[in-house]
Structure formats: structure tokens, C-alpha cells
A and B are shown apart, each in its own frame.
Chain A
Amino acid sequence: MSSPTYSMKKNIIPYWTYSKLLLTTNRLHPHRMTDVAKSFALNQIQSKSWLVEHLSMHYKKCNSVWVLGSWYGNVIVPLLKHYLRDCIIHLVDYDKEALELSNVYCYKHLGANNITYNHKDVNFDMQDLEADIIINTSCEHMLPMKEFNHKGLCAYQSNNFRKDSSHINCVDTIEEFIEQCNFKKILFSGERQFHEYDVEHKRFMIIGER
């Protein structure tokens, strides 16, 4: 492949690789096209980059990062590759097809080698986890994080968007989210607008040590 141009080098997320992801999806799992398209919507890019940018201010040394509920990994993996460099990334999702697509995407189209793909249901199979960094951007889909024995620098996101019936564990405030997470030390907490089109719904984020 010819070398990337200056403009391409400026992009932390190589959006041109999404073309390959969509083509792979269309070939392997065409019923997932809409879902893949949603995975790089504005709010997904904003939330993941918000998380990794803040995270990068707080980690000292990182050998391993676990991403719980990693979906296709197409936004967070390029960000982690950029900010955490040589760290091994462990992707976890209970959605086998999503994980299969993230494997093809990360390995073939992104050229990322240091990744493991773990087909597990976080709610039932990931009770105990110790790592340098643990990321969960889908806490609204899962049991409260205090139910898990996580040890390490943790970055969690949730929201108050209850209209989606898959959101079984929304929180209304950052205080409620903090209460759900059992941090020993909080390094960052904050909130952002959840959608681009309304101010009512919010995404919450906490980074801290557990």
C-alpha cells in the first residue's frame, strides 16, 4: 500500500478503513449493516475519544487494557493504539458476530496484532478481573459495576437514556453512577450530551482506581 498522506496521518481514527469494515460486514453478516453504520456515529466517536483522551492523562504504565462490551472495536481500538501504543488490548463481547467482525477489522484492515478477542458475557463470565486498565462504555447494559471485582484503573460510561429497552441499568446523575461503581479513588468524573439533538439525555463518565 502506498504511504499515507499528511492529511491521513493527522487522523487518529483512520476512517477510510471503515469502508473495508462495511464491505466485510456486507459479505459476512449483511443484517448488521445498520448496526455497523451506527458504531461510528458522531456520539460514538465523541464518547470513545472523550474517554481515551482523559484516560491518557492518568495511566502511568500499561501492559494490558480490557474493553468490556467492545462491540466492533472500530472506534476505541484505533484510539487505544494511538494513546497507549504497545499495550495488549483484550476485547470482550457476548455478541459473537460483532467480535468476529472486530477480529477481521482490527487484524486485516487496521493491522493491529496485539489484540485478543474474548467471546464472553460480561454479566456472567467476567466477575473477577485485574488489569492495568479496564474500560466499559456500556454500563447501562450491565449489572452495576460494584457487583464486579475489578482491580485497576477503570474508565466507565453510562447514561440516562431509558427509552432504549436494552438499557437495563441507566443512572440519572453522576452521583448515582459513582454510587454504582465503588471506586477507591476518583480521578475524573463528568457528563456530556448523549445525543446531538437533545439536551435532556446525558452520558456520564468516571475514571478512577478500584
Chain B
Amino acid sequence: MIHVICSLWGKKYSIEYVNRLYSMVNRHLPTDFRFYCQTDITNGLDSKVEVLPFLTELPESTPEDMLNSKDFVYNLPRLWDRPKLNYFKPDPWGIKGTKIALDIDLIIHNDMSDILDMFSDKPITARSWWHNREREKEPAWKKRFGAHTNGGFYMWEGNMFESVWKDLKENAKKIYFIYTGGSDNFLSQRHYNLFDFLQPGMLYSFNYGCNWPDDLKSYKIREDGIFCIFNTTGNTKTNLEIHDAIKMFDEVKKLWV
């Protein structure tokens, strides 16, 4: 049994994204699973999706508190995806056993067995293999607290995130203030060595490609890939979010079901 968790807050995405994510997991996760969504938006939710409340153990971490804090950088609250930090609590919401957390703005288009096979004694997340790794070494990357990881996918069990949760409990407000870019920046800079990473190709970016330096074509579905994410850097002219890609590319629309 695997517990699959996602989160929905704000107005950018609708319940449809959660229902479709459930559907994709149902097709591609080759084992029994329960599916949960941390949200306070429930109208229209698939009956098989179990609702989880936003936890309040971390300060100003609910969507409402985060928005009310008024401490915004580039029109977003500092560390804008705080609800995802609740995943790192030991047995969050009392859910024991192996867990997978997924972002709702991704597409799953192949069987996930290879990922289940690679899971051992460390949590797994995605590495941004499309990044230029030479540029990642440059000091400017570290100075701006750059992310090497992508939290569209996590897989873990037991107390694998104990150190992350301890850090958050002790330093939440500092962490929010510093890692304005989000949870990926926080984990990349403070807990990078905790993780195993999905192999190149298992998770790729529709906007940036799959693996630096040879496989960087944008707007391309990789047939052998498992997850396609639609990450952006605010450059709306060239970066497509999932709702843009669905409208513009039939092959994306066909997979998002």
C-alpha cells in the first residue's frame, strides 16, 4: 500500500487538476494506493480522494496565514509553497507507511514501477537534470539560494525527513525569510545530501528539457519519461504552465486525463 498525497490551495488551479492527477496515478502506479489531497477546496472532488486539512504546526503555513503575512517578494509570499512543508512531518496526518507526494500540475504518462524499484533507504526527489551543471557551480547560484532539486515528486517512509522537520520546527521563520524561491531552494541548500534522485528521464521539464547538455529540447514529450512537469521561472513568453500546454499541444492534452 502506498499513500499518495498532493496539495491544492489558492485560485490558480482547480479541483479538476486533483481529479486528473488521481486518474493518472490510478493508471500508472502498479500497486494498491490511497490518494489524499491537502486542501480546503472540496466541491467536485472525486470520491476516492481523501481530504486532509492544512496542518498548523509550522507558523504561518496555512494558505490563509501565509497570504495574511503580507511579507511578499516578487508578488509571492516568502517561501510561497509552505503547505508542502507539512509532508516532512513524521507520519503527517497520522499516515504511516510509504508515501509519495506529487504536484498537481504535472502529467504522469508511464508506469511508475522503476521508481518503486529504486526506493531504498533514502527519500527520493527529482533532480533538475536539465540545469547546466557547470553554471550550478558558479557562486551566483549559491548566493541566490538556487535550487538543484524539484519537489514535484517525493517518495519516503518512516522518519526519513526527521532532520528536515527538526530544522523547520527550529527555524521556520528564518527559513521562510531566506528561501524566497520556495521549498526546493530550502531543501537544495540545506538538505541536499539527504536525498536519492530520480534518474534523468524519469522526470523531465516540458519547458527546459530532460538532461543537460544533450537533451534540452523544449515543448517535447519524452515517450519513455514518467513525469512531465511544467516548471517556470516567471518568463511567461517562453515558459508554458500546464494549462497553456494543454491548449497548445494535442499530445499534452491527450495525456492529461
Contacts and interface: CB of A to CB of B under 8 A. Distances in A.
Interface residues of B, number: 18
A168 B74 CA distance: 11
A124 B139 contact: no
Contacts of A19: none
A143 B71 CA distance: 13
Contacts, number: 40
A169 B177 contact: yes
A35 interface: yes
Contacts of A169: 177
Given A34-B138, A35-B139, A168 B73 contact: yes
Contacts of A147: 174
Given A31-B134, A166-B145, A168-B73, A123 B174 contact: yes
Interface string B135-149: 001111011110000
A34 B141 CA distance: 13
B255 interface: no
Chain A interface SS verdict (over half): helix
Contacts of A165: 74, 144, 180-181
A132 interface: no
Interface string A119-154: 000011000000000000000011100010000000
A172 interface: no
B174 A32 contact: no
B143 A166 contact: yes
B95 interface: no
Contact of A166 (B137, B140, B174): B140
B178 to A, nearest CB: 6
